[in-house]
Amino acid sequence: MIAQTMRRGCDAALLLVVLLASTPAHAWCIWGFGQCAPSIVGEYTLEGSSVARLTIAADKITSSIGPVSFTADYVVKSFEGNRVTIEVGLPPDAKVPLDVQVEKDQLRIGTKHVLAGVWKKRAARP
């Protein structure tokens, strides 16, 4: 009886170790462990332009200027404080890193990229 209980305990401990090792570190921030990346999800307009729009979902980024738009996949590569580095996948196999500074109602994207500038968060639609 004791041997069977010990075996189940070891199996449970092994399963816990495997789960902990396989889960991305940022997923633990939901439960209050570690630091969460600041959210960049939302709809934005480029400061000084009434036609440039940027829509960021959980894994896709869409930029549009008037009738022209493009959508690409992205992943968060790193973050520290309010700075987030994302990697945008462009066709055919190019990956472009973007440095994003997250502020209260805006994003600042580094000056050497197509999406560079200050993007103001759009008000939520009713």
For range 15-23, the mean pLDDT: 50
Neighbour tally for 83: CB within 10 Å: 14
Q: Pick the closest to residue 115 from 63, 75, 44, 58 (CA basis).
A: 63
Q: For residue 49, is pLDDT > 70? A: yes
Query: How high is the mean pLDDT of the chain?
Result: 80
**In the predicted model, is pLDDT for residue 28 greater than 60?**
no
DSSP string for 38-58: PP--EEEEETT-SSEEEEE-S
Query: Could you tell me the pTM of the whole model?
Result: 0.69
Q: What is the mean pLDDT of residues 3-30?
A: 59
Q: What is the pLDDT of residue 27?
A: 55
Do the Cβ atoms of 62 and 21 come closer than 8 Å? Answer: no
For residues 93 and 87, the answer to whether their CB atoms sit within 8 Å is: no
